[in-house]
Amino acid sequence: MDPKRETVQSTLAAAPAAAISLVLGDVDLLGEIFLRLGFPTDLVRAAAVCRRWLRAASDPAFLRRFRDLHPPSLLGFYLGIYSALRKRFRVDFVPMLPQPPELAAVLRRGRFGLDTYQSQSTRVMDCRNGVVVANLFRGGDFTYGVHSPLHPARGFVAFPQLPIMKGELTIFREILSQGIGDGLSYFWFLLDYCEKLEKATAYVYKLQDGVWSMQTSATTQISRLNSSVLNTLSIFLVEDKIYMAITTHNILVLDLASSTFSTIKFPDRMLFDGQIMLARASGYGVYLVHVKDLQVCIWLHRGCNGNSMGDWLLVDTINLHDLCANLAISNSTTEDGHDPDVYIHDVGDNAEFVFLEMYGCVLYLDVRSRGLRKVHKATEKNTRVSWIHPFMMTWPPIFRCRNDPVRNN
Of the two residues 91 and 405, the one the predictor is more confident about is 91
Q: Which residues contact 75 (CB under 8 A, 6 or more apart)?
A: 95, 96, 99, 103, 106, 107, 391, 392, 393
- Give one word for 235, left, alpha or beta, with left for phi > 0 and alpha for psi -120 to 50: beta
46 domain-assigned: yes
Q: Which of 106, 77, 105 is nearest to 92 (CA)?
A: 77
Q: CB of 5 within 8 A of CB of 13?
A: no
Amino acid 333: pLDDT: 46
If one compares 246 and 289, the residue with the highest pLDDT of the two is 289
pLDDT tier, 8 (very low <50, low <70, confident <90, very high otherwise): very low
User: Does pLDDT of 153 surpass 60?
Assistant: yes
What percent of the chain stands above pLDDT 90? 43
Return the pLDDT at 307: 44
> Higher confidence at residue 321 or residue 273?
321
Q: Residue 208 has what pLDDT?
A: 92
Nearest-angstrom CA–CA distance, 369 and 372: 9
Distance between CA atoms of residues 118 and 374, nearest Å: 31
Residue 7: per-residue pLDDT: 52
At CA 329, angle to CA 388 and CA 352, rounded to 5? 40
Q: What is the DSSP letter of 230?
A: -
Choice between 123 and 230, residue whose per-residue pLDDT is larger: 123
- Rounded-to-integer distance, Cα 158 and Cα 148, Å: 12
* Cα–Cα separations (whole angstroms), residue 286 to 31, 266, 278: 30, 11, 7
- Give the residue with greater pLDDT, 340 vs 264: 264
pLDDT value for 335: 45
- The 10s digit of each residue's pLDDT in 377-398 is 878 887 889 899 999 998 888 8
Query: Which burial class, exposed, middle or buried, applies to 251 when counting CB atoms under 10 A from its CB (0-12, 13-18, 19+)?
Result: buried
Q: Which long-range contacts (CB under 8 A, 24 or more apart) does 258-267 make?
A: 259/216, 259/217, 259/218, 260/218, 261/200, 261/202, 261/218, 261/220, 261/222, 262/306, 263/222, 263/306, 263/307, 264/301, 264/306, 264/307, 264/311, 265/307, 265/309, 267/299, 267/309, 267/312, 267/314
The verdict on residue 223 lying in a domain is: no
CA 30 vs CA 36, 49, 405: distances in Å: 10, 12, 21
Is residue 265 scored above 70 in pLDDT? Answer: yes
Does 336 score more than 90 pLDDT? no
Task: State mean pLDDT over 201-225.
Answer: 91
Q: What is the dihedral of CA 148, 152, 153, 159, to 10 degrees?
A: 30
Residue 379: the pLDDT is: 80
pLDDT band at 405 (very low <50, low <70, confident <90, very high): very low
Q: Is 265 exposed, middle or buried (0-12, 13-18, 19+ CB in 10 A)?
A: middle
CA distance 248 to 183: 35
- Per-residue pLDDT, 255: 94
- 54: domain range? 3-68
The answer to whether position 61 is within a domain reads yes
Mean pLDDT, residues 168-173 taken together:
76
**Whose CA is closest to 82, among 70, 90, 74?**
90
C-alpha span between 120 and 21 (Å, rounded): 60
Give me the mean pLDDT over the 267-289 stretch: 81
Residue 53 resides in a domain: yes
Q: What is the pTM of this model?
A: 0.84
Please tell me the predicted confidence (pLDDT) of residue 303: 65
Indicate whether 49 belongs to any domain: yes
As a whole-number percent, the residues of the chain with pLDDT over 70 amount to 81
Is 34 within the bounds of a domain? yes
Reduced to 3 states, what is the DSSP secondary structure of residue 70?
coil
Residue 164, pLDDT above cutoff 90: no
Name which of 73-82, 218-227, 249-258, 322-331 the model is least confident about: 322-331
Question: Which residue type occupies 376?
Answer: H
- Nearest one of 251, 253, 248 to 271, comparing CA atoms: 248
Cα 97 to Cα 94: distance, rounded to the nearest angstrom: 9
| pLDDT, tens only, 281-320 | 887 789 999 998 889 999 999 865 444 445 889 999 999 9
Q: Please name the residues in contact with 295: beta carbons below 8 A apart, sequence gap of 6 or more.
A: 317, 318, 319, 320
Using alpha carbons, list the distances in angstroms from residue 28 to 40, 69, 208, 399. 19, 17, 40, 19
Residue 58 covered by a domain: yes
Q: What is the per-residue pLDDT across 119-150, written as a single tens digit (0 to 9) for each? A: 999 999 999 889 999 999 988 899 999 999 99
Number of domains composing the chain:
1
Please report the pLDDT score of residue 229 as a whole number.
Answer: 43
Per the CB < 8 A criterion, the answer to whether 266 and 301 are in contact is no
Residue 13 belongs to some domain of the structure: yes
Distance, CA of 25 to chain centre: 36
